[in-house]
């Protein structure tokens, strides 16, 4: 106890390489009886339980039995203000925004409401084993303050920013090009780099921004290239037609961002389903991140992300819930949907690839992979213990498993918050 060291025992899973490009047996690092040493909020060491117990006899031991210890999940694209309207019925993208999303987002001018939903959101994501989120806020600076305050109070790593819109949105949800720049700059200077928080410059998407607003945010990004920039790209075909009508000079959807300084490394492009060859090539060339949101893509009827093709061509890909266009807070459910979308596209993602996407892959997409998303010495100790027999249906399937992947896959496909046995944030058990 007095040493300040904690040794967590269980099955352990980390990654030495990306399992899309390295054979799974070499990419994954699995110990049947493993251990993770936590020291000063960081991972001090990983290895076999016997070795680490011998090396650290003074550590406080927490034995998680057969639970699988891994990095906490990293959700690379979400909308926390949509928490209370998740699972809203019957609309596709544009109607869904107008009918459900914009009326709800209007409520976030009220700082007390924003604080209530932000707290609820982080409690839900943590109970689902998600230890880092990258979220859109609303147009209101109050919504950004509420988000970062709630993250800070829970000591979680979080990225987010004010969602900027200056056209094609209702009264009360529009700013101007200048306000977008000014508000974002003030919020960025207030929150970026504080504790575990990062400010993300956030134009919602091209249809709700004028060229002037995109240019203003492009200028802000050029002044703060260490901030991520998040937006949406090519989610639905109707949306793409709308964008091309609004930007007649643009070569394609991506060009509406590129022409205004909003394409670069550190760019996080949500969805990226219906890409032209030029868009694919440019995104690869600048090493931008594509964020796959499979439960959203099926729920809103958007289409099938080309995971096999885009990973094969070396694109940087992350995984996300897209709450509340996505239909779950759970990254387990999100991995299951990614598997299903892959099957519909003719490729079965390996459990190691799914799990990598939800942890190290998303951390890499956010360019935080030297800090979070893996079990390795020096990384921040954001961990989960996953119960691989959390329901009778899962337990009876896992019982027949011949290896860790067969044991893990039923939890990926059928698991939910009940599978999250414990969560550590910055080395502290929640």
Terminal Cα distance for the chain, rounded: 18
Strand partners of residue 300? none
Whole-number minimum distance, CB 110 to Zn ion, in Å? 22
User: Considering the complex, what minimum distance in angstroms separates the CB of residue 79 from Zn ion?
Assistant: 6
Q: Which is nearer to Zn ion, 34 or 324 (CB)?
A: 324
- CB nearer Zn ion, residue 105 or residue 382: 105
Question: Which has the closest alpha carbon to 363: 198, 187, 162, 195?
Answer: 198
Q: Which of 133, 89, 138 is nearest to 113 (CA)?
A: 138
For strands 267-271 and 229-233, give the pairing.
parallel
Q: What residues contact residue 277 under an 8 Å CB cut-off, 6+ apart?
A: none
Tokens of residue 218, six digits: 């492009």
Please state the closest distance from residue 76 (CB atom) to Zn ion, in A.
Answer: 11
Tell me the H-state helices in 292-389: 294-299, 307-312, 331-344, 351-356, 362-365
- Residue 322 or 416 having the CB closest to Zn ion: 322
Minimum gap (Å) between residue 11 Cβ and Zn ion: 34
Rounded least distance, CB 24 to Zn ion, Å: 30
- Using the minimum distance from each CB to Zn ion, give the nearer residue, 324 or 415: 324
Alpha helices in 92-232 (DSSP H): 93-96, 102-106, 111-127, 141-154, 177-191, 211-223
88: exposed, middle or buried (Cβ count in 10 Å: 0-12, 13-18, 19+): middle
Tell me, what DSSP letter sits at residue 417?
A: G
Phi and psi at residue 226, in whole multiples of 5°?
Answer: -80, -10
Tokens linked to 353: 């690839």
Residue 260 or residue 292: which is nearer to Zn ion going by CB? 292
Nearer to Zn ion, 175 or 322 (CB): 322
Give least dist CB 234 to Zn ion, A: 12
Interface residues toward Zn ion, by CB under 5 A: 270, 322
Quote the least distance from Cβ 219 to Zn ion, whole Å. 24
| Dist CA 327 CA 122 (whole Å) | 16
Cα angle value 182/150/111 (rounded, 5°): 55
C-alpha 232, offset from chain centre: 14
For residue 207, the minimal CB distance to Zn ion (Å) is 13
Is the Cβ of residue 198 or residue 389 nearer to Zn ion in the bound state? 198
Minimum Å gap between C-beta 378 and Zn ion is: 32
Q: Which CB, 12 or 334, lies closer to Zn ion?
A: 334
Instruction: Please say which residue, 77 or 421, places its beta carbon nearer to Zn ion.
Output: 77
State whether the Cα torsion 359-117-323-259 is positive or negative: negative
Q: Kindly state the helix (H) or strand (E) to which residue 63 belongs, with its residue range.
A: strand 60-71
């Amino acid at each position: 106890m007095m040493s300040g060291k904690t040794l967590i025992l269980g099955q352990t899973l980390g990654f030495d390489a990306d399992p899309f490009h390295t054979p799974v047996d070499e990419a994954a690092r699995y110990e049947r009886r493993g251990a993770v040493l936590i020291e000063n909020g960081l991972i001090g060491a990983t290895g076999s339980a016997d070795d680490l117990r011998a090396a650290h006899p003074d550590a406080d031991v927490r034995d998680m039995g057969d639970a699988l210890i891994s990095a906490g999940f990293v959700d690379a694209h979400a909308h926390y203000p949509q928490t209370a309207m998740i699972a809203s019925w019957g609309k596709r993208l544009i109607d869904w925004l107008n009918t459900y999303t914009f009326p709800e987002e209007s409520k976030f001018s009220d700082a007390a409401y924003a604080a209530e939903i932000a707290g609820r959101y982080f409690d839900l994501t943590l109970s689902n084993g998600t230890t880092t989120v990258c979220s859109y806020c609303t147009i209101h600076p109050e919504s950004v303050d509420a988000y970062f305050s709630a993250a800070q109070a829970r000591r979680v790593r979080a990225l987010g920013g004010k969602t900027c819109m200056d056209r094609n949105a209702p009264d009360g949800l529009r700013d101007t090009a200048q306000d977008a720049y000014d508000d974002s700059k003030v919020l960025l200077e207030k929150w970026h780099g504080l504790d575990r928080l990062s400010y993300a410059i956030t134009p919602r998407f091209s249809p709700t921004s004028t060229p002037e607003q995109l240019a203003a945010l492009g200028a802000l990004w050029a002044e703060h290239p260490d901030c991520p920039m998040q937006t949406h790209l090519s989610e639905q075909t109707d949306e793409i037609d709308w964008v091309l009508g609004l930007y007649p000079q643009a070569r394609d959807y991506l060009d509406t961002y590129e022409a205004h300084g909003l394409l670069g490394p550190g760019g996080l492009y949500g969805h990226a389903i219906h890409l032209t060859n030029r868009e694919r090539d440019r995104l690869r060339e600048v090493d931008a991140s594509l964020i796959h949101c499979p439960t959203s893509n099926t729920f809103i009827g958007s289409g099938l992300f080309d995971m096999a093709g885009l990973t094969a061509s070396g694109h940087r890909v992350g995984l996300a819930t897209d709450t509340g266009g996505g239909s779950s807070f759970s990254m387990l459910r999100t991995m299951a949907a990614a598997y299903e979308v892959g099957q519909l596209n003719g490729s079965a993602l390996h459990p190691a690839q799914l799990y990598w996407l939800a942890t190290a892959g998303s951390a890499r997409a956010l360019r935080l992979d030297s800090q979070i998303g893996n079990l390795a010495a020096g990384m921040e100790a954001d961990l989960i213990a996953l119960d691989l027999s959390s329901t009778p249906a899962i337990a009876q399937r896992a019982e027949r498993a011949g290896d860790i992947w067969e044991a893990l896959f039923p939890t990926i496909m059928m698991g939910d918050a009940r599978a999250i046995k414990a969560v550590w944030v910055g080395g502290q058990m929640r």
